[in-house]
Chains A and B, each alone.
Chain A
Amino acid sequence: MTIRSARPDRGQHFRPRMLCLNKLEVIVVEMQDPKSGVTGSEQKLNVTTIPHVFAGKDIIAWIANKMKTPPEEAHVFGTMLVAFGYIYPLQNHKMLVMCNDTSLYRFQAPYFWPTQKWVADDSDYAIYLAKRNIRKKGMLEPYEQAHYNHLHKWLNHKWDFIVMQATEQYKAGKERKKPDRVVFDCQERAYWILNRPPRRTHSAMDCGPERLIDPNEDEKISFDQYRRKNMFYQQAIMRSKVKSSVSLGALVKYITTYKTHDPFLAPCQPSNPWQTDNDTYWTLNMRGVDVPTKMRVERWSFSLFELLTDLRGRDDFKVFLKKEFSGENLAFWEAAEELKWGTGSSMSAKAETIFKTFLAPGAPRWINIDGRTMGLTVKGLDHPHRYVLEAAQTHVFLLMKKDTFFRYLKSPVYKDIQKKALSPETHNFSPAQLEQNAQNRSPGIHPIILWQQEEEEKAKTAAASAPVDVKAMMSKIDRKK
């Protein structure tokens, strides 16, 4: 189905987006070199002999040798040559793949290559189908017949022209020698399978809706755009940058830290659910577990960000903060997050609650930030917007990151949970057990149910605890809307 509305139809002129075509052509030309190319043979079709016929396995072997790739990759490359229409199969002509056996293929004539500057448009297709109809009535396949009927309807105004062209081509075809005619018919058929693929055929010409930019056009940059560009460059030049050794060192450090936590690099304990069909790994790591796993607890120590992102870790942090009577920083941070990511309509109500709870003089959970930030924040709350608490939130976060977080890691609360944490034993399933697991995959709990449970929990803690659980109050305001 082509989208005909306001989309540009640049057809063939758009091919520069297919950067691969030029490289493919170079290879295809080399493959046909009589000395160093693929060795071909002839095929006998009834009385006719078709020259230059190649076996799939020979083509794939040539590619593997030339590009120095293993056979599977060469096979993929071979399939792409067929999918782009540079090579076509003689048997099973609707499957645009290369088979690594004695199946036969021919090289497509350059006239029909995808880089040619003419579009495979509907008029040409109509002429082709009409010509086949003239030759033998009822020879069209069902999908071709459907196309034909559709084209007959919407190209009706030039149908006489189409029939005339078809007749001319049919007559010209009859003048050719039989082998040439057979070859040309195969080539033409292959071209149309590629450009009007039947339903189950995967053709590389089938590439989806066009992108709007025309890569052939030079970018016309206006006066204003240049001005803006130059300003951007100036700012970029002045922006502070870090030495490569420092920033790349940080990337390597990150990888080394998380190496044992990456399921692709180190095995999950007890086992990767996708590999053994047993979801214990997920149940052990749920949001609300009493006792977390050792790996999970270790991960909390990597950064404050990790600790806070894992809600179970955040809970443990809160236990510590309660003991220290310094829970207001985290509470403020949570409230600020709720404001930043919440709905636009709830912002004023939230801003007011935050002011009353954390910022007003004598507030029940007054946070200790420097006078300047406090002043700016309170002023901004007159006209609250999403980022009004940004400065205060950053200050509080940095405080927690540089001080509270490290004290937490050294605290009895953390040491205690480290001791209690589980270290599940690796699963060792026999093939029979694995079969069993595959039959009995657990459905788990639906996220909607988990969400509802969590909301109820929040509401309960909000009602029961004092001082006020600000986060719960925030979500309540959101839910009321």
Chain B
Amino acid sequence: MRSPPIPEMATQEVQLSETLAHLKTESDTLKGKLEEERAKLHDVELHQVAEKVEGLGQFVMKTRRTLKGHGNKVLCMDWCKDKRRIVSSSQDGKVIVWDAFTTNKEHAVTMPCTWVMACAYAPSGCAVACGGLDNKCSVYPLSLDKNENLAAKKKSVAMHTNYLSACSFTNSDMQILTSSGDGTCALWDVESGQLLQSFHGHAADVLCLDLAPSETGNTFVSGGCDKKANVWDMRSGQCIQSFETHESDINSVRYYPSGDAFASGSDDATCRLYDLRADREVAIYSKESIIFGVSSVDFSLSGRLLFGGYNDYTINVWDVLKGTRVSILFGHENRVSTLRVSPDGTAFCTGSWDHTLRTWA
């Protein structure tokens, strides 16, 4: 039996819930107003602008290399700036550096944890970063000496309070940007391991991030389980733009090559394009027959094609301007977990839960 509430506390409680309700109404009103403002400037649809652009021809994209060597699900991969080397990480803790052109394995590291969900190649080509269920991001300098034990020079850089979902070097080997299941992103100084800036705003796990390819290089976009894609200012740590149109977790975000837009892939089986200058979603890439989630997206060099790796083991290729699907690729025997286009756009690489990686061109 509850004792009767003290009168002052009762009034306080009522006041608090009134103010909370008041704030909620204000929030909904403001959200509506923002949509209005966005709509005012929306004078044309993407496919209308695209009418004048010529259509794409037929594509012949094939698997050019199949990289076998991981003993378990491949979770992540990244390209080296030399356009032929890649690093990949898997569920069993192995991180492998390959020359994808010759299919030779050049380096292998065994992490002390399983589910290495993030890996990245340093811009210089001299190191790789990786992390996962250990909640950390570690940097391994690579060596020309095949017999050297890379784990000896390992440097622990980032520390989160939950799993590491993605990591990326900035414009040099000295800084790393990470995202985590703990709902935050963070920028770290590699040499000292110091936290330079943290980014709070997601209400749930952050699953992916991508740095803007602009001349200022000061922003990045992240996507999370709260269905939001947020654009952040790296200097101030503030969220400067936010988009919430997906119906489920956002697994992958990638900037359009000009830096003025970005694409996202989600568990709701759609890919979407967001225009940063117009501050709105401008295209949805979906089909009735596609019902399985998108795990990973990337653009071709010109931005005309959007490649998406899906959980139904396929890769769908979309015409970014016209919104149609131009090709579907088969080959993997389990879900495609990661997809990246090479730095010079000559190929793209996919990693899958079927333990293999494939290069397509």
Contacts and interface: CB of A to CB of B under 8 A. Distances in A.
A17 B361 contact: no
Given A19-B269, A345-B191, A451 B125 contact: yes
Residue of B42, B304, B321 most packed against chain A (CB within 10 A): B304
A282 B59 CA distance: 23
B10 interface: no
Given A212-B204, A285-B344, A447 B82 contact: yes
Interface in A218-272: 219, 221, 223, 226-227, 229-230, 232-234, 236-237, 239, 241-252, 254-259, 261-265, 268, 272
A282 B84 contact: yes
Nearest to B171: A341
A229 B27 contact: yes
B83 interface: yes
A67 B289 contact: yes
A337 interface: yes
B302 interface: yes
B125 A255 contact: no
A397 B191 CA distance: 29
Given A258-B303, A268-B346, A447 B163 contact: no
Interface string A15-38: 001111001100000000000000
A245 B49 contact: yes
Given A243-B41, A258-B303, A397-B215, A202 B190 contact: no
B19 interface: yes
Interface stretch (A116-124, A273-281, A313-321): A273-281
A67 B288 contact: yes
A397 B214 CA distance: 13
Contacts of A251: 46, 256, 258, 260-261, 275, 303, 321
Interface string A67-98: 11100110011011000000000000000010
Interface residues of A, number: 98
A394 interface: yes
Contact of A223 (B23, B73, B170): B23
Given A76-B313, A211-B225, A252 B101 contact: no
B262 to A, nearest CB: 11
Given A202-B354, A250-B260, A262 B301 contact: yes
A311 to B, nearest CB: 11
A104 B80 CA distance: 46
Interface in A425-464: 441, 443-444, 446-451
A236 B279 contact: yes
A38 to B, nearest CB: 18
B257 A258 contact: yes
A447 B81 contact: yes
Given A244-B42, A386-B196, A441 B102 contact: yes
Q: In which size bucket is the chain B interface? A: 35 or more
A244 B282 contact: yes
Contact of A344 (B16, B84, B191): B191
A105 to B, nearest CB: 18
Nearest to B65: A274
A242 B257 contact: no
Contacts of A127: none
Nearest to B359: A274
Contacts of A274: 64-65, 101, 346-347, 359, 361
A17 B215 contact: no
B125 A77 contact: no
B62 to A, nearest CB: 8
Contact of A255 (B53, B143, B172, B247): B53
Interface in B294-346: 300-305, 311-314, 320-321, 328, 330, 333-335, 344-346
Given A213-B226, A223-B20, A387-B235, A202 B334 contact: yes
Contacts of A76: 312-314, 330
Contact of A19 (B242, B268, B312): B268
B102 A443 contact: yes
A342 B172 contact: yes
B133 interface: yes
Contact of A451 (B23, B126, B330): B126
Contacts of A259: 302, 304
A241 B278 contact: yes
Contacts of A447: 80-82, 85, 124-126
Contact of A248 (B44, B189, B247, B353): B44
Contact of A17 (B23, B189, B267): B267
Given A19-B269, A211-B225, A258-B303, 17 more contacts: A3-B114, A202-B353, A211-B181, A229-B27, A232-B242, A236-B242, A242-B41, A244-B43, A244-B45, A247-B261, A247-B275, A247-B277, A248-B282, A254-B302, A262-B345, A264-B61, A305-B215
19 contacts: A20-B269, A68-B289, A202-B334, A206-B353, A208-B91, A212-B181, A213-B226, A237-B34, A243-B43, A244-B42, A244-B282, A249-B49, A251-B260, A265-B302, A273-B346, A275-B64, A279-B84, A305-B214, A342-B172
Q: Across the A-B interface, give the 4 residue pairs with the lowest CB-CB distance, nearest first.
A: A447-B125, A213-B204, A258-B302, A262-B302
